[in-house]
Amino acid sequence: MSEDKTTETLGDALPREMARVRDEVMPPYMAIGPVGAWALAGMRRDLDRAARAMAAGDVAGMVAALNELRGWKV
C-alpha cells in the first residue's frame, strides 16, 4: 500500500478555491438572473475578503476566507 503524503498548502488551496467559486459556482447563479443576485453578492464579498487577506499576508484571514469559500455550492 502506498500512502499519498501530498499536503496542500494554504497558498495552493485558497487560490484554487477562489477559482472554483468564480468558474464553477458563480455561472449557474448568474444564469438565473435576479434570483441569484443575493448569493452572487455573498460570493463576491467572500472572494474580495480572500484577495485582501492574501495581499496582506493575513494567514488567519486566509483560513477564514478558505472556509467561507468552501461553503459555496452549485
Coil vs helix vs strand at 50: helix
How far, in Å, CA of 42 to CA of 63, rounded? 17
Alpha-carbon torsion 46, 51, 56, 59, what sign? positive
- Extents of the domains making up the chain: 10-70
pLDDT in tens, 5-61: 678 999 999 999 999 999 999 999 999 989 999 999 999 999 999 999 999 999 999
Q: Please state whether the predicted TM-score (pTM) of the whole model is above 0.85.
A: yes
